[in-house]
Structure 1
């Protein structure tokens, strides 16, 4: 699922070595220890964010085609699962480049970023609610903004929101993510070394979640909209799938195909029930505490999507729709501003509804609003990515070798292939930095080059990701991983 390029081919004088693609166990070890950013995963995250935004628009036409209409799960499960997947990959990359201490600091910082995103989302919702009240727009979404409650008890409402006791509806998933980010450095080592123990502990906590929900601070007697004691199971599934992936050989085997047929049968049965039998919305507590029905529904669909990914369909979609990939990489920004976009779109459709005299006019207006909503989310992603790319990166003050280059990639190639160094061209080498220095660079690169075939994309992913820092901008990584570089001898 990962894309990469820009590694040297194996030196000609060395005997042939087993490749990562030809040795499945080696592939699993390589990918779990050297996690790279996956374009297909980012594509799925971006798609989930777009679906979440559309689902928040009550008059949306495209929301009738989204997952919750055909399954007992929705984009929330997808988003949380992929969040666990990405967190597992990020933890491995951070520990490889800077140790466990760096991972702890980064996830602590990330939890602060999510908390600020939560506060910004709540503020945007309050402002939208106050604007609707000022304009005498009484939309159904007004209640979810907490604006009426704010006018009645402003200080108490703000205090409750800041302390997570009251969570505006559309921002309710973020407080759960804050806890997940704080727990990743503590849980990830267990997941890596003892996956069965981690899974059993997660299942036990999920089973006990309804009785533990009252421990969470809440001004609402119902409690948190997303019970973190329950939803951690979905996050754990994502981490396990990243750190202990199911091999492609098994997926294509007879046993794997049997599982595919079972998953397809379950998904079709649930879809038939939702379309033909169900006549009322499912109770909210099923989603709040992540019911077993939702878990089974998601697992069946996730397995089917994994088969599409194995066959290359997701990669082709990602290559055809790069803005969606960018949205997945700018997840927090797209979620926060997507909330504002969905409120504006929903309110606009509600206000314009009396002007629609025919069903056709209403459908055309809803489709137009959907397209504008999608375009707005993608615009937020592109702007956020450009702002991050232009952000100045502080230089580290330490010795980087006789060439004065902080890039481990450049330094390692220069050290190993001095005669060919003139032909190498690297993008932003000061950005693509790594943790190895001096004499450690050559043996590390040599071992990686001989562990796999640099002409295979998955092998190049593992090699380059081991040598660059976890915070390397995606535009640099994508350029480095686009195609292999042959170094003459």
Structure 2
């Protein structure tokens, strides 16, 4: 049995991306009563894995069919331009977050805030840390997803080309790179502080490429095979993970003295249990019609619109989450306070998404009217004029 995927826009992707964005927002305001209800509490993976997998799928949808001999250069430049946008966005967001914490530290007389989310090194060594920020070697806490995504987009043209011609070989090479990076701890270094990037692109590229390869396969007429044994194995793994994270077993660095990337739950190097968990969850969503239909909506559904406008919503969500963190530190509040903070933040993200959708609608209508005005009426026989009107 196989499950085909419609060539039309699949709103499930937008809805799942929206849910990942909202989950990231709630998780980025730690300590609230609602943090225990997010996706990370139900298995080994969290919203970051979902975000990267969906990003690989999105790249396949946006550039996969365009990456042909005549259009490869243009598609490559578009991907690199997008990576540049993500880089600039990350730098601006980082500076805005630092300004927010510094402002509250000064005007609210809370210098302790300057020791949080990796801001303290900037206070001690501004020149080197500023160099680190620009070169992505110094990343603030809760502000480290965009750098790995930007690097993946820089690598994406090679990924798409390789996967297009040799999908199995491409995934084998990608998996080998993931394994080598995890075993030998190879990752972009921090600067000037010691350590690695929080999310290692050499590891996370494997999950990105799995999403990319799967969607390219589907776009070419392939199907995702549905097998009851695979479904059973995926469901068993997901249920085992659910029990595991709420048992004393959770928290071990690794098991049976295996390398952490194989037997642990490390996020930086995307350990195998985390990778298998997001793949098992994704497979169940695709393979089970009852589960899959939960995420299929109309294009004008609020979640579909939110997921469609993912980058500006993510930026807004990051800034709002940082503001909410500061507000909770100044006034811890309680359940009602947390509810108001998170509800207001989520409402602002939906408002931004609807505003951007409305702007695009207005712009589209304006272009359509301009096109109609630019077409001069031409007197012609009935049949010709009818065809002309029909083709406008």
Range class of TM-score, shorter chain: 0.7 to 0.9
Cα distance in structure 2, aligned partners of 1:391 and 1:180: 31
Q: Which of the residues 331, 346, 349 maps onto 1:352?
A: 331
| 1:155 shift after superposition | 2.7
Contact 2:101/2:326 (<8 A) preserved:
no
Cα distance in 2 for residues equivalent to 1:295 and 1:249: 18
- Maintained 8 Å contact 2:26/2:35: yes
Change (3 A) 1:281 1:329: farther
Higher relative CO (Cα under 8 Å, sequence separation at least 6) belongs to: 1
- Alpha-carbon deviation of 1:81? 0.3
Q: Is the CA contact 1:206–1:232 (under 8 Å) kept in the aligned structure 2?
A: yes
Distance 1:278 1:237 in 2: 29
The separation in 1 between residues aligned to 2:363 and 2:37, in whole angstroms, is: 38
Aligned: 1:107 with 2:87: no
DSSP-derived class of the 1:168 partner: coil
For residues 292 and 271 of structure 2, the distance between their equivalents in structure 1, rounded to whole angstroms, comes to 32
Quick one: which of 350, 363, 368 aligns to 1:378? 350
| Counterpart-to-counterpart distance in 2, 1:249 and 1:163 | 40
Match of 1:313 among 273, 293, 307: 293
**2:228 alignment partner, one of 249, 257, 266:** 257
Q: How does 1:47-446 map to 2 (within 5 A)?
A: 47-95=19-67, 99-134=71-106, 135-137=108-110, 143-144=116-117, 146=119, 148-210=120-182, 211=184, 213-214=186-187, 216=189, 218-245=191-218, 250-251=225-226, 256-278=227-249, 280=251, 286-308=266-288, 312-316=292-296, 318-319=297-298, 322-353=301-332, 356=333, 362-387=334-359, 421=387
**Paired residue secondary structure (2:267):** helix
Question: For residues 166 and 213 of structure 2, what CA distance do their matches in structure 1 show?
Answer: 10
Classify the secondary structure of the residue corresponding to 1:113: helix
**CA 1:375–1:145 in structure 2 vs 1: closer, same or farther (change >3 Å)?**
farther
- What does the per-residue CA deviation read over 1:360-417, in whole Å, with 9 as the maximum and x for residues that have no partner? xx22222222211211222232334445556699x9xxxx9xx969xxxxxxxxxxx9
| Cα gap change, 1:59 to 1:380, in 2 (>3 Å) | farther
Partner of residue 446, structure 1: none
Where structure 2 has 5 or more consecutive residues not aligned to the other structure, the ranges are 255-263, 377-382
Preserved CA contact (<8 Å) 2:79 2:157: yes
Give a deviation string over 1:397-452, Cα, whole Å, max 9, x none: xxx9xx969xxxxxxxxxxx97874885x9xx7xxxxxxxxxxxxxxxxxxxxxxx
1:391 to 1:175, Cα distance in 2 relative to 1, 3 A: farther
Alpha-carbon shift at residue 259 of structure 1 (Å): 1.3
Q: Report the alpha carbon displacement of residue 48 of structure 1 after superposing the two structures with TM.
A: 0.3
Q: Helix, strand or coil for the counterpart of 2:324? A: helix
Separation in structure 1 between the aligned mates of residue 386 and residue 287 of structure 2, nearest angstrom: 41
Question: Runs of 5+ in structure 1 lacking a partner?
Answer: 1-22, 357-361, 406-416, 430-489
The residue aligned with 1:3 is none
Alpha-carbon distance, 1:108 to partner: 1.3
CA-CA distance at 1:121 after TM superposition: 1.6
What SS class does the counterpart of residue 71 from structure 2 fall into?
A: helix
Q: What do residues 174-229 of structure 1 show as CA deviations (whole Å, max 9, x unaligned)?
A: 11111211121222022122110011001100011133625546333221101111
CA contact (8 A) 2:44 2:265 kept: no
1:149 is displaced (CA, Å) by 2.9
Counterpart secondary structure, 1:54: helix
How far, CA to CA, are the matches of 2:224 and 2:81 in structure 1? 38
- Does the 8 Å CA contact 2:67/2:160 hold for their aligned counterparts? no
Provide the rounded CA distance (Å) in 2 between the counterparts of 1:225 and 1:144.
12
Aligned residue for 2:30, secondary structure, equals coil
The Cα of 1:315 is off from its aligned counterpart by: 4.5
- 1:13 aligns with none
